[in-house]
Structure 1
Amino acid sequence: MQLTEPYIQLYKKIGYTFADSANLARALTHRSANKKHNERLEFLGDAILGMIIANELYERFPLQPEGKLTRMRSNLVKGDTLAALAREFELGDLLLLGPGELKSGGFRRDSILADALEAIIGAIYLETGMAVCEPIVLQWFAQRLNELDPQSVSKDDKTRLQEYLQAKKFPLPLYEVTDITGQSHEQIFYVECTVAGLKQATVGRGNSRRKAEQKAARLAFEKLSNAE
């Protein structure tokens, strides 16, 4: 496939040229546009990104405890950070969206941008393996990694809940998507958070799985804290 100018510019920004541009096209395809969309690549990229960042933090901060490393990793791989990176790469201009998403401005939505970035990571990994993928991803995060201060990284709601449960020697929380409503371009996710110490699961809702999980975790932490 002949390279188009938008892809050439993106290759320069991400520091990688796909051997098969169809792999990049798949990574940029939202489920609203085609049955062959990027969700499986996003699933893979999410796991690879987490491992790359975890390994880098482990090596870079040898004196920091698990809790601090967890918070730093969460700060780097959270949806807001990934969406910001996607905007730096101008992914919104290249996303393949269905008519509904185009009409509602899906190319600006954090969750869609973050998922596309993770899908690109998954696609790079499939083409090249970890040895090539890892330094590329670390270069994307280089400035943010260099600016990390272990003492100032705030805890997100999932991390705060996890640390609370670990201190009590309780099992880790379980998150489950129980429902997804709305059209593909305006989906609302419902997530249940089940924790020891609460008779009922807490429920969070949001326009992405991540946001729904965070809200469910916050509710669980508040209920556990109030019960003390």
Structure 2
Amino acid sequence: MKKLELLEKKLKYKFKNQNLLIHALTHKSFKKPYSNERLEFLGDAVLDLVVGEFLFHKFKNDAEGDLSKLRAALVNEKSFAKIALSLDLGTFIFMSASEENNGGRSKPSLLSDALEALIGAVHLESGFETAKEIALFLIQKNYPNIDAKNLIKDYKTKLQEITQSKMGQTPEYETLRAFGPDHQKQFEIALKLEGKEYSRATAKSKKEAQQMAAKIALEKLEVL
């Protein structure tokens, strides 16, 4: 398909098996016997390792805790959606008309999943080193100045410092629900101050959802 050749140019990678590329770009709403969910599962694991190894070598003197925060700042829905947008990935995804009408081509979760599936497909076809090369190219293109201090935005710590000094209390985080398949779990977290819900966020991990809820709370407090 001519249209997909444009995506391959952006990736700097030519798929030997075009069906694998189509598979990686097929959302479950498209009602085919296959979808990109399994490739997304694989790509998520590949990206986690790629970023972990990259940070391990780049920040040689940083402790494990800081490296974990750095990885979490890069390996998440928001970061992957940003990279996907740079590829205009939404225009290439096969999805149902109803999903498209609901803004599917710009949904961060859908874009992030498709990017993970693409990396998974490259890994499946050409191995880890090729997938790593493409992933690092995309990450460094979108995050050219990866700096530990700027990248790690520990909103929870910042919020706690502010609420303790101004209100004499610590925020509470309550898991409202966990939903979705095991490989694509989502967690909805409520942040409470003085026993009342102050903000709410949903993400792929409890830690990420807590950080997002803390960021929203900071924005409400107008301190960001």
> What TM-score, normalized to structure 1?
0.70
1:127 to 120, 125, 128: 125
Aligned to 1:11: 8
Asked whether the 8 Å contact 1:71–1:159 carries over to 2, the reply is: no
Q: Once the two structures are superposed, what CA deviation does each residue of 1:177-208 show, in whole Å capped at 9, x if it has no partner?
A: 7435xxxxxxx955589xxxxxxxxxx763xx
Report the number of matched residues: 184
The residue aligned with 1:85 is 83
Question: Larger deviation: 86-95 or 119-128?
Answer: 86-95
Counterpart contact for 1:157–1:214, Cα < 8 Å = no
1:118 alignment partner AA: E
Q: Please point out which of 12, 20, 24 is paired with 1:23.
A: 20
Please, which runs of 5 or more residues in structure 2 have no aligned partner?
A: 159-174, 191-199, 215-224
Where in structure 1 are there 5+ consecutive unaligned residues?
161-174, 181-187, 194-203, 221-228
| TM-score, normalised relative to structure 2 | 0.71
Query: RMSD of the alignment, in Å?
Result: 3.0
Q: Percent identity?
A: 32
| Residue 32 (structure 1) aligned with residue 26 (structure 2) | no
1:106-185 maps to which residues of 2 (within 5 A)? 106-144=104-142, 146-156=144-154, 178-180=178-180
Kindly provide the amino acid, as one letter, of the partner of residue 23 in structure 1: L
Contact 1:24 1:123 in 2 (8 A): yes
1:184 maps to what in 2?
none
Candidates 205, 210, 214, aligned match of 2:204: 210
Q: Deviations over 1:117-164 (max 9, x none)?
A: 00000000000111221112111112355401112223356999xxxx
Distance 1:214 1:57, change over 3 A: closer
Q: Secondary structure at the match of 2:148?
A: coil
In 2 relative to 1, CA 73–38 (structure 1 residues): closer, same or farther, beyond 3 Å? same
